[in-house]
Amino acid sequence: MIRHLAFALAALAAMSGNATAYTVYVSNEKDNTVSVLDGDTLTPVGSFKVGRRPRGIVLSADKSQLYICTSDDNRVTVLDTKTNTVSGYLQSGSDPELLLLHPDGVHLFVSNEDDNMVSLIDVTKGKVVEEVPVGVEPEGLGLSPDGNWLINTSETTNMAHVINLRSRKVEDNIVVGARPRVAKFTLDGNRVLVSSEIGSSVSVIDFTTRAVIKKISFQINGVPKEAVQPVGVLITPDGKSAYVALGPANRVAEIDLSTLEVTRYLLVGQRVWNLALSPDGKRMFTTNGVSNDVSVIDVVNNKVLKSVPVGRLPWGVVVKP
C-alpha cells in the first residue's frame, strides 16, 4: 500500500529525537516501487511507485534527491527525499541498470544494457551530455577515489572497461570472470574488485598494471558451487574489508583486503543481491530477491537482527544519514 511517507518519516523523527537517525531506501524490481525503512526501529514506513522495473539507486551529493534506474521506462526517476515524491525524470539511454554519481555532484554515470553505452548525465541540465561505447550488456560502475577513472563491467563481453574521465574514452579492457556484475575500487585506488556471477569469483585487479592478480573463490559447506553467484560488493569505510553478496548461496562473504582471503560468511535471506551499511558501519542491509525482504545484520557481533518485508524482487539499497 502506498502511504504518506513525508508525514510518517517526520513523525518518526520527532518521536525519536535521535540525531543519528537514518533512512533505508530499497528498490523493488517486480512491484515498481521503492520501500522506505526507518533505521532506528528497523520497520517499513511506506512505499511508493517510481516507474517500471526500478533497480540501481543512488543519493545526490546533498542527499536531497534519490536517483533511481527505472529500466523499462528507459530513464532515471528523481525522488525528493524530503517529501518522498517523484520530482522529475532524466533520460538515460536504453535499459539503465546501475548508476553512479561523481563527487562533483553534477555528473551521473549510467550503464545502459540494451545499447552497450555508459551515459553521462548532467543533472543540472537534466540530459545526457555524452555516451561512451563499451562492451555487451554493461552493468557495474566503479569510480576511482581521485574521480579520474571509471570502471564499467560488461556481462556478455566478460570484461572490465577502464574509462579515462578526462578524455571520456575507454583506455583498457581487462578480461575477468564470467558475467561480471559490480566493480569497486579500494579506498587507496590501487585495486579494483569485480564480482563475476557465473564465474563464482571476485577478480582483484592491480590498477597500476591493469592485470588480474587474484581470483577469490568461495567455499561454503553444503552449498554447491553453481549456487555461489557473486553480485553486490561493498568496501567498508575503514578500507580494511569488502563484503560480497553471493546470490542464491544466501550468504554475504567478508574479505580481508590485506590478505585477499575470505574471513567469514554471514547467512542472510534468499538470493541476496545488493548491500549497504548504516552510517556508523555497525549494521548491514541486504536485499534478498527471492524472500522479498531485507536482512539487517549486526556485523560487529556476526548475527542477523531482523528480516524486514519489502516489495517483490528487492534489488537496490541505499542508506540516507
Number of structural domains the chain divides into:
1
Residue located via cell numbers 543519493: 59
212, containing H or E segment: strand 211-217
Average pLDDT of the segment spanning 226-239 = 97
Quote the radius of gyration of the chain (alpha carbons, Å).
18
d(CA 246, CA 39) in angstroms, rounded, equals 24
> Domain range for residue 243?
167-267
pLDDT at residue 20 in the model: 62
Q: How confident is the model at residue 302 (pLDDT cuts 50, 70, 90)?
A: confident
Residue 64 forms part of a structural domain: no
Residue 115 forms part of a structural domain: no
Residue 147 forms part of a structural domain: no
Average pLDDT, the chain: 93
Residue located via cell numbers 544519514: 321
> Over the stretch 103-137, which tens digit does the pLDDT of each residue have?
999 999 999 999 999 999 999 999 999 999 999 99
53, containing H or E segment: none
pLDDT at residue 286 in the model: 98
> Over the stretch 269-292, which tens digit does the pLDDT of each residue have?
999 999 999 999 999 999 999 999
Residue located via cell numbers 558475467: 179
Q: From the CB of residue 60, how many other CB atoms can be counted at a distance below 10 Å?
A: 17
Domain of 249: which CATH number? 2.40.10.480
> Over the stretch 21-63, which tens digit does the pLDDT of each residue have?
899 999 999 999 999 999 999 999 999 999 999 999 999 999 9
Residue 295 forms part of a structural domain: no
Residue 253 forms part of a structural domain: yes
Residue 177 forms part of a structural domain: yes
Residue 257 forms part of a structural domain: yes
Residue 289 forms part of a structural domain: no
Average pLDDT of the segment spanning 231-244 = 97
> Over the stretch 62-103, which tens digit does the pLDDT of each residue have?
999 999 999 999 999 999 999 999 999 999 999 999 999 999
